[in-house]
Every structure is written in C-alpha cells, then in structure tokens.
Amino acid sequence: MNIIVGIEDINLYGSRLSVSAKELAAFRNLSEKGLKDVGFTKKTIVPLFEDPVTLAVNAAKPLLDAIDKNTIGLLIVATESGLDYGKPISSYVHRYLDLNTHCRNFEIKHACYGGTAALQMALNWLRLESPDKKALVISSDVARPHIGHLAELTAGSGASALLLSHQPKACIIGPVTGYASREVYDVARPTLKYEHGNPVLSLYSYLDLLELAWEDYAKKASISPQNFKEQFDYILFHTPLISLVDKAFSTLLKNIYEDIENEEIKTSFHQMVYPSFLYNYELANIYSGSLYAALAGLLEVVHEEKGQMKKVGFFSYGSGACAEFFSGEINPAFTSKVHKKIKEHLETRRVITPEEYEKLVYDYEDILHLKDYTTDLNNAYYKDLYQNSNLLVLESIADYYRNYKWS
C-alpha cells in the first residue's frame, strides 16, 4: 500500500542582510564571465548575532505558529556548519521552537545532500506513524568566506524548513528514489574555519552521480529513460551555481536522447528548470537548503499558472559524495500565509555594501572559536532590522554554551 506523505508547508529564511553579487564581483575584480556563470543576483550575509541555530529557528517558527506543535514527533536538522562535535544544533532548535519532550531530534551531515537524507528519513518515519503525526526537517548553513575567489559569489547562508505530514498540501513525495555514492574529496570543511574545494572535480562528480542516480531511479520506477521529458513537468536541482545546473540538465538530456538538438535543450531548460531559480537568485547557494529553495520558488511560479498537479523530478547532490533522484507532485493551488511571505522577506532585506560585508565576514570568523562572548545588540543592524521582530538572536556564549533570546 502506498501511504501518501510529503510536504505540508515550506519556508525559507535568509537573515535580514544581503549583498549584491554584481557589486561584490566588481569589488573583488572578478570577471563578468565568472559573475554570469554563477548567475546569482545576491547572497545572504549573517550578522554577528545570527548563526545556524537562529537561521533554523527563524525559518521554522512561522510554520509551527499555525499548528499544534504537539503533533511534531521528529525534528531533523541538516547542516555542515555544526557548532559542536557532540552537541547537535537540533537540541537548541528543539528548545527554542518549544517542541514537546517526546519529539526525537538529531543533527545530520552529508554536505549539501544532508537535507535530502533528512527528508527521506522523516518521510519513512511518517509512513510508520499515525496520520496525525508530523515531522520537521530543517537545513541550515552559514557559508565560509572564500575571500577573493569566484566561490565567494556562490556561497550563501540561510535555512529551509519543511513541515512534513500525511496532508501534503504543497508537494506529495513519491516512494521511489534512485541513489548514487562514491568517495570523492571535492568539497569539504576539515576545520571550523577552512573549506577545501576542487571545483573541477566537484563538477564532474555532480554530473557523474546525476547520471547514475537517474538511471537507478528509472530502473526502480520501471520507466524508460527515454521518457524523461514525458515523465516530468519540472526538474529541481541542487543549485550551487546556475551554470552548473544548466550544464547538468544539458548533459543528462544528451545522454538520454542521442540526437537531441541544442535548441531543444535550451527550450526544455527554460520550461522545466529555469522557473525554479526565483529564490535561489536571492540567496545564492545555501547548501542543503538549495534544492528546497528551488522548490519554494517553483511553488510560487506554478501558483500563478493554476491547473492540475505538476510532476516534478528532484536531484540532490552532496560532496563527498552522495546523490539522489526522486519525484513528487506539486499542487498549483497550494497557498499558505508562511509561503506567501517568502518573497517579501527576501526582497526587503537590507543590501549592504561590499565594504560592510567584508567587515562582517572577518568579524564573524573572529568569534567562531570563542569560549565566551557577549553579542553587541546596540548596533544599527539589530536596532533597524531585528528589534521587536520576534526573531531569535544569539545573546552570548558562556563556556561554549550558546544563549539565545527573542528580539
């Protein structure tokens, strides 16, 4: 028996600050071609009183305000920006979301695949639970700086929050998934401050595992790979940069259809993939949350189209490496007060100058290792953008323990 589960509601949170990708590229003397390849218009910046915990809580809280929180039986937080080798950030998130004692919580890590691993684990849990139970999956990350490199334009910060249930008003997630794994040292965070990256290796690993995961999915779903375009109205990708998604889609179609023309690929890309970039443009690559930012953007676009359920393919990739291809059906009639506010939230963030951005980045790096720290909440960012906004902020660190408060 196929038990229907999926996403009941969705939210994104990108702090209250951003920087223009174009202005940052000019500030760093990065090439126009590089800026075009990246494709993002802005990237999220976190002030010193935000971190992976606050991003996660501020993304999820609006979803919980409208429901009975006692129905949440599972909380999973995916992150590669963990703050402790033992204590998961999910424990802080559980506390500040005021979830019940009998809600299981844990942190999960597998680079940008972690959010999908959490999603699939939570969906399988739901299939075994009573219909009134819900799960909460959050992906939350803070980017490494990459000062002066093209990756600086791609690395965003932010969080996605998915409310999962037996009433998937936004998106039904199908039970069939295709996997592919291979040990690769393409992107990694061997220390709290350093991020290793081999962009060429990561590109080829992404493309290789996409092909393998798709073939595994097609085999399990008993469909001919040649029916790819007939199977889906839209395809959502983990989006580390726009040009990589373009390349991935093109490579996949050429592998499936030997005689396909470039013009047909271009048309298919604009029909099946391009609409999902709405919020990725504003956030840049938010790691595990990137794929679900694409879903949130597509839900906004198809809502304008109305009509029947839309078939969607999802491709998730995480360095290291693991990938997964799965499918779902999104509802063009979906609407929620929370999802409606995503666009306004992202568009009304303060766009700071590259000089302001650079100071914040260096100051943030300086506090990462601190045992004790008291946040300055008398600065303009807090007073202008956070005060009386009921957002969670970091108040202090005492003997490595993090204390938070509501603004």
Question: Choosing from 8, 50, 80, 282, which is the catalytic residue?
Answer: 80
| CA dist., res. 147 & res. 153, Å (int) | 9
395 carries an active-site annotation:
no
339 carries an active-site annotation:
no
The values of phi and psi at residue 145, to 5°, are -70, -45
| CA dist., res. 71 & res. 73, Å (int) | 6
Q: What is the DSSP string of 264-316?
A: HHHHHHHHHTGGGGTTHHHH-B-GGGHHHHHHHHHHHHHHHH-SS-EEEEEEE
80 carries an active-site annotation:
yes
Q: Rounded to 5 degrees, what angle do the CA atoms 6, 7, 11 make?
A: 165
Question: Choosing from 110, 152, 171, 238, which is the catalytic residue?
Answer: 238
The distance in angstroms from the start CA to the end CA of the chain is 47
The values of phi and psi at residue 68, to 5°, are -80, 110
Question: Choosing from 94, 103, 110, 112, which is the catalytic residue?
Answer: 112
What's the burial of 259, exposed, middle or buried (CB within 10 Å: 0-12/13-18/19+)?
exposed
| CA dist., res. 297 & res. 302, Å (int) | 9
Omega before residue 26 within 30° of 0, cis: no
The catalytic site residues sit at: 80, 112, 238
